[in-house]
Amino acid sequence: MMLHSLITTVLVFTGLFATSAALAETLQCDQKQTFCLTSNRRLVVGDAVGIFNADKELVATGEVVSMRAAKRKIEINKRLGAIRKGDKVRRLETDVSADPTQAFPVYKEPARIVGGAAAGLTRINLAENTSAYSAGGFGQYRWRKNIQLVARAHFFTASGIAVDTSNGDEEEAFSAQGLTLLPGLAYEIFAKRTWSLRGEAGIGASFVSLNTSGNASPKSLEKVNSGVGLGARLGTSVLYNRLGDWHPEMAFEFMKIHDSRATTVAFGIMREIR
């Protein structure tokens, strides 16, 4: 008897699980996203509906225009962004259906073009006591959903005292300025959250001007030459995304300038250009 009850219970729960899976809401749209089909059985013809993404932002609004078996056909009357397969359809109450954008968070399509600038403190291995500062700007174009094409200009200025060990530990004051031009790629995750992470890599050319106070040639200064050489950058940053089109950032940069290495902590701002 107990075994029979246990088997019956298992079968009931299995049936409920299978039914729930079969009734799981699906959403399919035509290529132009003017019509969508949903399996939401709670909807009837004439219902005003909203389509929401995973962040519960309103992506589109529409109206149920026909029913066939378990499928409901929705005519999209306003689309605020791309409708995706995992988005959910919800019926809108009468008091919000006239203008649901006032009642729900609204999805905002990311701008294709973004510009930004940053400045920070740099440590560069030209000498033991080197102070360096950097600044730069960039523009980016959204190539794929989370991938951007980047063009960056990076400027640094450094000064310090190098020791020429081959000439009786003679000290040599120096200064260096450089401009690095870097095409590259960036990738951002959690872009719709309050905080997001962005990584960037680029390789290009560094133009450096090196000046010394005398004729000595400390070996450490051989890592850069006045002229053009290889430049490369690997950076990661944390962005704050709750100021509209403005995005403050804190960045950590690792750079190769000719044969020298530099690390930078920088603070900057990015702006979406619409």
- Mean local confidence (pLDDT), 145-162: 93
Burial class (CB in 10 A: 0-12, 13-18, 19+), 7: exposed
Is position 2 within any domain? no
Give pLDDT tens digits for 106-131: 888 889 999 999 999 999 988 776 88
Position 38 pLDDT exceeds 90 = yes
Domain CATH for 259: 2.40.160.20
Is position 1 within any domain? no
Check whether residue 43 and residue 146 sit in a common domain.
no
Check whether residue 121 and residue 243 sit in a common domain.
yes
Position 153 pLDDT exceeds 60 = yes
Greater confidence (78 vs 173) lies with: 78
pLDDT confidence of residue 8:
52
pLDDT confidence of residue 14:
47
Position 65 pLDDT exceeds 80 = yes
- The pLDDT > 90 percentage for the chain reads 60
Is position 227 within any domain? yes
Is position 165 within any domain? yes
Check whether residue 54 and residue 180 sit in a common domain.
no
Question: Do you know the residue count of the chain?
Answer: 274
Q: Pick the range with the lowest mean pLDDT from 140-144, 207-211, 223-227.
A: 223-227
Q: pLDDT category, 22, cuts 50, 70, 90?
A: very low
* Averaged confidence pLDDT in the chain: 87
Is position 54 within any domain? yes
Check whether residue 170 and residue 192 sit in a common domain.
yes
Is position 10 within any domain? no
Number of compact structural domains in the chain: 2
Check whether residue 89 and residue 121 sit in a common domain.
no
Sequence-separated contacts (24+) of 198-201 with Cβ below 8 Å:
198/236, 198/237, 198/238, 198/239, 198/249, 199/235, 199/236, 200/150, 200/152, 200/233, 200/234, 200/235, 200/236, 200/237, 201/233, 201/234, 201/235
- Mean local confidence (pLDDT), 9-19: 45
Q: What is the signed CA dihedral for 147, 152, 157, 163, rounded to 10 degrees?
A: 60
Check whether residue 72 and residue 149 sit in a common domain.
no
Place of tokens 């988005």: 87
Check whether residue 61 and residue 146 sit in a common domain.
no
Q: Which of 68, 102, 136 is the last residue of a domain?
A: 102
Check whether residue 56 and residue 93 sit in a common domain.
yes
Domain CATH for 32: 2.40.30
Q: pLDDT category, 21, cuts 50, 70, 90?
A: very low
pLDDT confidence of residue 274:
85
Q: pLDDT category, 10, cuts 50, 70, 90?
A: very low
Greater confidence (96 vs 265) lies with: 265
pLDDT confidence of residue 221:
79
Check whether residue 120 and residue 243 sit in a common domain.
yes
Cβ pair 249, 116 in contact under 8 A: yes
- Mean local confidence (pLDDT), 249-268: 96
Check whether residue 41 and residue 154 sit in a common domain.
no
Greater confidence (214 vs 235) lies with: 235
Is position 60 within any domain? yes
Q: Which of 102, 122, 139 is the last residue of a domain?
A: 102
> Cα 256 to the chain's mean position, in Å?
24
pLDDT confidence of residue 197:
97
Range of the structural domain that residue 59 is part of: 25-102
Q: Which of 51, 75, 102 is the last residue of a domain?
A: 102
Check whether residue 93 and residue 119 sit in a common domain.
no
> Cα 43 to the chain's mean position, in Å?
36
How far apart are the C-alpha atoms of 239 and 251, rounded to whole Å? 9
pLDDT confidence of residue 188:
95
Would the pTM of this model clear 0.85, i.e. be above it? Answer: no
pLDDT confidence of residue 151:
98
Is position 176 within any domain? yes
Check whether residue 219 and residue 143 sit in a common domain.
yes
Residues forming beta bridges with residue 246, ordered by sequence position: 243, 271
